[in-house]
Amino acid sequence: MNQNEFVLLITPFKDKVFRLAKRLLVSTEEAEDATQEVLVKLWSKNGNLTGYNSIEAFAMTMTKNYCLDQLKSKRTGNLKIVHTNYEDKEPGLEKKMEDLDSLNWVEKIMDQLPVQQRLIIQMRDIEQYEFEEIAEILDMKESAIRVALSRARKTVRDYMTETHKYGIS
Amino acid sequence: MESVKIENLLEKYFQGETSIAEENELRNYFSSLNVAQHLEQYKPLFGYFSLAKEPQFKHEIPLQSKKRTVAWLSIAASVVVLLGIGTYAYYNLDVANKSQDLGTYDDPEKAFRATQKALSLLSDNVNVGIESVLYIQEYQIAKEKVFIETKKNSGGS
């Protein structure tokens, strides 16, 4: 497999890998690093790639594992980038922010979800994978995924309605 | 009428039981302008999902990993070194073969002539030496003449 074939192979899902990494790692730079890392790993596997029935699912699994490793090492290193990332954007952009505010709220709420639920909601509600595919990527049962997804959606809804009510009162 | 259907879909949605098609229906409804007042609160949620699908990975992918180039470099270097040693050895062996050529002849006549030539050269050189020794002999003869005479003279007196 040469470089062009490989690039063609990964084009359909490299953005998904990036967004999944961003969902888990929050910082754009880190997500870019993670995506690069995953793609280079894929490339170094090269010849063995045909052995997997879905390279996309395989790549997503790799991304998930890589990001979880990153999060683990970050936690032990006591580095918290999570919140500084948002506060930087806020000053100066107030007018624009008002329109985007509620959307940002959703993002903030989603970043408070447990990692597992974040993964699932990203793959289902944003990337629109079928449950079957998510089950393959996460190596979980479909029923467990449905339960986690329902829990995640309800959590987001509860936070949303709370802020919605606060907005009124 | 439509809001009732959407409410049902939402109920299913939060149970995690909607299909992709149904979720798309919800998305379309909430991205449209006529969202029912009491469902307004879900608008940002679905709006966010569409928004979150936009970020793209635009970086170049460094496909040629460093390890690989190092491996190729070392292979190339070793080939060059081997070639160098090979050619060096090849030419040196050739020179050695040439120096082992003792000038033997296959044709007996030629060999005879060459031997003759060599021998005559040798004898010429030997003769050069003898000629210079011949002078010494002259001295000897002269000396003997002188000494004999003096002997005779002393004996006579």
Fold of A90-169: Arc Repressor Mutant, subunit A (1.10.10)
pLDDT tens across A92-151, in order? 555 455 556 777 778 888 888 888 999 999 999 888 889 989 998 899 999 999 999 999
**Residues of B whose CB is below 8 A from A148:** 16
Following CA atoms B140, B146, B148, B150 in sequence, which dihedral angle do they give, to the nearest 10 degrees? -150
Choose among B15, B20, B59: nearest Cβ to A32: B59
ipTM: 0.71
- Residue B136 in tokens: 């010494």
Q: What is the mean pLDDT of chain A?
A: 80
B157 band by pLDDT with thresholds 50, 70 and 90? very low
Closest to B23 in 3D by CA, of B32, B33, B10 = B10
The burial class, CB within 10 Å (0-12 / 13-18 / 19+), for B13 is: buried
- Contact between A55 and A39 (Cβ < 8 Å): no
Report the largest interatomic distance among the alpha carbons of chain A, rounded to a whole angstrom: 61
Compute the count of residue pairs across chains A and B with CB atoms less than 8 Å apart. Answer: 87
Separation of alpha carbons A73 and A144, rounded Å = 27
Per-residue burial over A22-50, b if 16 or more Cβ lie within 10 Å, else e, is: bbbbbeeebbbbbbbbbbeebbeeeeeee
- Contact between A156 and A108 (Cβ < 8 Å): no
pLDDT tens across A29-49, in order? 888 888 998 888 888 887 677
Separation of alpha carbons A70 and A165, rounded Å = 37
Eight-class DSSP state of B60? P
Q: Is A153 helix (H, G, I), strand (E, B) or coil?
A: helix
Q: What is the pLDDT of residue A95?
A: 47
- Looking at chain A, list the stretches that DSSP marks H as alpha helix, in order from N- to C-terminal side: 3-25, 28-45, 55-76, 84-87, 94-111, 115-121, 131-138, 142-168
Closest to A26 in 3D by CA, of A90, A99, A87, A97 = A87
Test mutation, B56, B59, B61, B67, chain A, max A CBs within 10 A: B61
Separation of alpha carbons A138 and A67, rounded Å = 13
- Distance from the Cα of residue A99 to its chain's centroid: 24
Domain-wise residue ranges, chain A: 1-83, 90-169
Is the pLDDT confidence value at A89 over 70?
Answer: no
Is the pLDDT confidence value at A68 over 60?
Answer: yes
Q: pTM to 2 decimals?
A: 0.60
Give percent above pLDDT 90 in chain B: 13
**Residues of B whose CB is below 8 A from A44:** 65, 68
Domain-wise residue ranges, chain B: 2-51, 62-101, 104-157
Asked if A160 and B45 come within 8 Å (Cβ–Cβ), the reply is yes
CATH class of A1-83: mainly alpha
3-state secondary structure string across B130-146: HHHHHHHHHHHHHHHHH
CA distances from A159 to A78, A162, B38, B45, B82 (A): 27, 5, 16, 11, 71
Gyration radius of chain A's alpha carbons: 18
Choose among A14, A103, A106: nearest Cβ to B57: A14
Asked if A15 and B57 come within 8 Å (Cβ–Cβ), the reply is yes
